[in-house]
A and B are shown apart, each in its own frame.
Chain A
């Protein structure tokens, strides 16, 4: 992360680029709570929160508020950030993707009336933003909030019959679509402890098979966190991860978010929720001492 750290605080998505809220939030999650860069990065991040509590990709693109959940994760565990963390959580609880009553003649067959979260204002609720909002709000102590119960229902409704998730459509015009690794992993991370393993067995098996073959670093990092959160052995996958996180021959350096998620996967093979819980607990312990 050293070459993405900015002297004025926070992180860029790639070396030589400017401050980016999402990159900064992910980078914070890889650093110890008492690391010198964290306070500065959190200050920079908090400046980007808009009046209604959303954390957009940039202040002049307020409609793209998908970094809000990871921003909330990054502020947790620091009492001085509690007010801003509450603002982010409140925004999430008060916003949802577009939803509408399910009809029999709809081109898709999922329940469009269920509320989750989305990437950009006005769009439908999709799998990954719903999963990350669930993880963030759970880590913020809102695990049993009704919005999270409905979000769980949404994810279960969008699970493919043969296992896995894609961006959030199961069937379109009667045709069953295909899952992908990042959405499947994010959903499995969010559902850990919220669903019986048997109801997700096909998704876990599908993901394990895909992860064993993939050469894609972000997908593999997510898969380690997802499989680990359900108690699966990911040691072989973790062995392959460092090589994939190094500079790619075609795309060059990986973005900060991918590097951060890879770091978290290597440090916390028991999953993202466990990682967030440990960070909060460690901080509480430090405060008590």
Chain B
């Protein structure tokens, strides 16, 4: 029997963002306008309700040449997101690590960005902006043009915002797993109705995997955290994944696993044609599902385990309702390197 989304007036994935936007608006009034002035917002406690049994939608997509809008539309319907989009301001945050050709497995593929933007606009979104703060490269145009995303954004008439240099605000870190008391985030993201982590399915040489939670490192401005965002690595990469997820509270994850990366990711690994898009409103649940599809036990990924312990999401197999393709039929094992400590931990 097909799943029927429950009818709710205030879905859990919207609650925290409404709260954040209220804080940002209040602080903007107090700050009398200067856009670049960081704002110390009141300490508040993580209070977003996480579904006890989140839905994750797994779609097959064998190639970037297919119409990728359809599986995304189907997932948004299944997840109960579609009916909440009218007039909403949506920010898509792809993973753009370094400038390399668009068919490489490093960056979220431009066709996935195009399809997601078209899907949100088709469902009545008021605006769609694509935004990223590339981790290694200070020139956003270098990343845009070399990755092929620039051409897609021109064709689709979509705006791109460099999060590394965008006006920002500073919020208290609600979870404080890392040593960071505050997290500084671009105001664009705090003021958006929906923030979508448009991640890539990859193994990672420091974090084990990089999926929708690790992708959020790119939301933090390089002007505050540097290029690379070494301050976050030194504060604890897994702890920061959780802290940023808790602070920013993205509404949705879409993971591009059409061609992912195995081995020495996030840049120098080998492509894996997994042929999948994985989507959901609970990021730890989406990432845990991606791990299972990649042949990795999510409980061994420290930031997923920590996120679950804090109640940010469910990662246990029996707690996640997987729709679309089944884990058993869609799984494609991603190779891990035993000589890389963060990946060796996943092999045990």
Q: Give Cα A118–Cα B267 distance, bound, in whole angstroms.
A: 23
Asked if A180 and B36 sit within 8 Å, CB to CB, the answer is no
Q: Shortest Cβ distance from A194 into chain B, in angstroms?
A: 23
Interface mask (A107-122 → B, CB under 8 Å = 1, otherwise 0) = 1000000000011101
Given A19-B36, A173-B340, A249-B154: A180 and B142 within 8 A (CB)?
yes
Q: Chain A residues near B33 (CB, 8 Å)?
A: 18
Q: How large is the interface on B (under 10, 10 to 19, 20 to 34, 35 or more residues)?
A: 35 or more
Residues 188-226 (chain B) with a chain A CB within 8 angstroms: 205, 222-226
Asked if B142 and A216 sit within 8 Å, CB to CB, the answer is yes
Interface mask (B13-41 → A, CB under 8 Å = 1, otherwise 0) = 00000000000000000000111111010
Which of A17, A119, A251 is the one whose CB lies under 8 Å from B227? A119
Q: Chain A residues near B227 (CB, 8 Å)?
A: 119, 126, 128, 167
Asked if B139 and A218 sit within 8 Å, CB to CB, the answer is yes
Q: Chain A residues near B150 (CB, 8 Å)?
A: 215, 250
Q: How large is the interface on A (under 10, 10 to 19, 20 to 34, 35 or more residues)?
A: 35 or more
A57 close to chain B: CB less than 8 A? yes
Asked if A217 and B230 sit within 8 Å, CB to CB, the answer is no
Mark the stretch among A58-66, A77-85, A87-95 that contacts chain B: A58-66
Given A13-B165, A64-B224: A128 and B138 within 8 A (CB)?
yes
Q: Chain A residues near B230 (CB, 8 Å)?
A: 118-120, 123-124, 126
Q: A19-B36, A123-B234, A216-B146 are in contact. List 15 more A-B contacts (CB 8 A).
A: A13-B36, A18-B35, A18-B36, A20-B36, A119-B225, A120-B226, A123-B226, A167-B228, A172-B205, A172-B264, A173-B340, A180-B98, A180-B139, A219-B141, A248-B141
A-B contact pairs, 25 of them (CB 8 A): A13-B36, A13-B165, A17-B167, A18-B36, A19-B34, A60-B38, A64-B223, A172-B264, A172-B268, A173-B264, A175-B264, A177-B268, A178-B98, A178-B267, A180-B136, A180-B137, A181-B142, A215-B145, A216-B144, A216-B145, A216-B146, A218-B142, A248-B141, A250-B144, A251-B144
Which 10 pairs between the two chains have the least Cβ-Cβ distance?
Answer: A119-B226, A18-B34, A216-B141, A123-B230, A216-B142, A218-B139, A175-B268, A250-B153, A215-B145, A18-B36
